[in-house]
Amino acid sequence: MRKKIVAGNWKMNPNYPEALELLHYLNNNIPREHYNVDILICPPFIYLSEAQKLFNRTDIYLGAQNASSYTNGAYTGEISASMLKSMRINYVIIGHSERRQYFGENEEVLAKKIKLCLQENVIPIYCVGETLEQRNANEQFDIVEKQISGALFDLSAEQINKIIIAYEPVWAIGTGVNASPHQAQEMHMFIRNLIMNKYDDTISRELIILYGGSVKKDNANELFSMPDIDGGLIGGASLKGEEFVSIINTTKNIVNK
C-alpha cells in the first residue's frame, strides 16, 4: 500500500518574520492525528534549520527545494545533497518546472542531482509536466515520457523504489486552473505504466505520485481520491496556514491505495 503525502513548496517565499509565523502556525495547527498522511514542508534553504528547531513534533517532515548536481567544493552558492543529509533533511524537490524554465535544468543535470540525492539517502521528489502549448498540441504524454526516461531510467530497481514523482502541469501552476481529476489521473496512470514497463509491476504499484498545480482545499479531496494520485505538492496554498491545514483535513476519508 502506498502512503499519502501532502507537501508544501514555499518556493522563494516569504520573508523571515512571516516564515516564523507560518512555521509556528503549522506546528500548532497541523492535526496530530493526520489520517495516515505524511506532511512535508519545503521552505527556502535558509529557514530549514529554524524550522527544525521550531517543530517540537516528529510527524512533520522537512524538505529542500533543490540540491546541487555537484558533490562538494568550489561551487559558489550551491547546496549539496550531503549537506542536506548531514542536516537530517530527508526530502528534496528536484526538477521543478521553474528550475527547468528559469535555470535551464535539463534531464542530464537532473539525473545527476537525483543520483547524488539517492547516494545520500535524501528522497528526491522528481517533478514532471507539460506546458499549455504542449498540451494544446497533444504532446503531454511524449513530454512526460521524455522527462521520466531522461532523468530516471538509468536508475536501478532499488534506486527507483526510493523516488517520488510529482506531476505538475505547468499550465496549472499558480494559475488557479487545476488539472481536472480525470486529466491528472490519466497522466498518473500513464506514469505508473511507464515505470511498470521499464521496471516491474511491484515497483510501479508502490511508486508514490503526487499531483501539483493549483491545489486548494476545495479541489484537494477530489484530486487525491483518484486511484493513482497519492497526495499533492502544494505551492500558493501552502503559504496560507489555515488553507494548508484544511487541505490536510480533506484527506481524512481517503483510503490508502
What is the closest distance, in whole angstroms, from the C-beta atom of residue 57 to ligand 13P in the complex? Answer: 24
d(CA 78, CA 84): 12
Q: 231 pairs with which residues across the strands?
A: 5
d(CA 247, CA 232): 9
Neighbours of 108 (CB within 10 A): 10
Catalytic residue list contains 96: yes
| C-alpha cell at position 222 | 477530489
Catalytic residue (one of 34, 120, 168, 188): 168
Q: 62 pairs with which residues across the strands?
A: 41
| Grid cell 526538477 in the structure block, residue | 95
Identity of the residue, 152 or 170, whose beta carbon is nearer to ligand 13P in the bound complex: 170
d(CA 163, CA 245): 25
The upper half-sphere exposure of residue 131, i.e. CA atoms within 13 Å in the direction of its Cβ, equals 6
CA distances to 50, 62, 209 from 87, in Å: 11, 10, 26
Identity of the residue, 82 or 180, whose beta carbon is nearer to ligand 13P in the bound complex: 180
What is the closest distance, in whole angstroms, from the C-beta atom of residue 163 to ligand 13P in the complex? Answer: 16
What is the closest distance, in whole angstroms, from the C-beta atom of residue 165 to ligand 13P in the complex? Answer: 13
Position with the least CB separation from ligand 13P: 235
Identity of the residue, 160 or 210, whose beta carbon is nearer to ligand 13P in the bound complex: 210
Catalytic residue (one of 96, 98, 105, 130): 96
**Which residue ranges make up the site for ligand 13P (CB under 6 A)?**
9, 96, 168, 173-174, 212-215, 233-237
d(CA 97, CA 64): 15
What is the closest distance, in whole angstroms, from the C-beta atom of residue 32 to ligand 13P in the complex? Answer: 25
Identity of the residue, 96 or 113, whose beta carbon is nearer to ligand 13P in the bound complex: 96
Identity of the residue, 165 or 199, whose beta carbon is nearer to ligand 13P in the bound complex: 165
Torsion, Cα 160 145 98 219, to 10 degrees, reads: -90
The set of residues, in sequence order, having a beta carbon less than 8 Å from that of 250 and lying 6+ positions away, is 217, 220, 221, 224
What is the closest distance, in whole angstroms, from the C-beta atom of residue 64 to ligand 13P in the complex? Answer: 13
- Catalytic residue ranges: 96, 168
